[in-house]
Amino acid sequence: MLNVAVLGSGRGSNFQAILSALQAGTLPGVRICLVLSNNSTAGILEIARANDIPALHLSQRQFADESAFAAAMLEAFRCAGVDFLVLAGYMKRVPALIVQTFPRRIINIHPALLPHFGGAGMYGMHVHEAVIAARSAFSGATVHFVDEEYDHGSTVLQKEIPVLPDDTPATLASRVLEVEHALLPEALRRLASAPDAHT
Ligand code: GAR
């Protein structure tokens, strides 16, 4: 069983996709035991509460420094029995202590074809604006393991879609999001069904 914490900063549609897969019975071996957000008004926390999943607002601003923040995060994970993390629209860097505590046990979804259009500043709509500005023929989504560098760890799953001639950042974002909603549950399904694959 993967006891999963989902971390997000915004509306939480990728988290909703995971919940829908769980409700449809297509994610055996996965349990969501905590949702954490750096943003107290994030939709992802509302979705968690509406589904009776513990929801926690935890932001570095509440702490004197990163190490105090990381210690509080770790304690929340320990209390909830978390052994795997999913970053679903989490716009903050995960503290190094957390990455070191969960080696190959943290995945992130990124709205582009890594290693392209990743790294510092490449999140949300900025990614799609950069893809359109570069006149790329393709974009897509990537699920990857998280290490200490932004958008850097090895790929779990990736899916490509064409960029259409009349795409705007907004239309591209919405087509990539549809891909994300299938890709993230599929990545979790694979990792939960091959428990050694992430150790
Ligand atoms: C998603 O498109 C996700 O890939 C992106 O933020 C959006 C969150 O949407 N994440 C990043 O850009 C991280 N670098 P959601 O809150 O509806 O799941």
What whole-number distance in Å separates Cα of residue 102 and Cα of residue 6?
A: 14
Ligand 1 neighbour 124 (Cβ under 6 A): yes
- With the most atoms of ligand 1 within 8 angstroms of its CB, the residue from 46, 177, 181, 184 to mutate is 177
Q: Indicate the DSSP class of residue 184.
A: H
Ligand 1 neighbour 99 (Cβ under 6 A): no
pLDDT of 170-185, one tens digit each? 999 999 999 999 999 9
pTM of the model: 0.96
Max intra-chain CA distance, the chain: 50
**Residues 179 and 159: beta-carbon distance below 8 Å:** yes
**CA of 182 relative to ligand 1 center, distance in Å:** 14
pLDDT of 129-176, one tens digit each? 999 999 999 999 999 999 988 888 999 999 999 999 999 999 999 999
pLDDT of 99-117, one tens digit each? 999 999 999 999 999 999 9
Structural domains of the chain sorted by starting position, each given as residue range(s) with its CATH number in brackets: 2-193 (3.40.50.170)
Residue 41 has pLDDT above 70, yes or no: yes
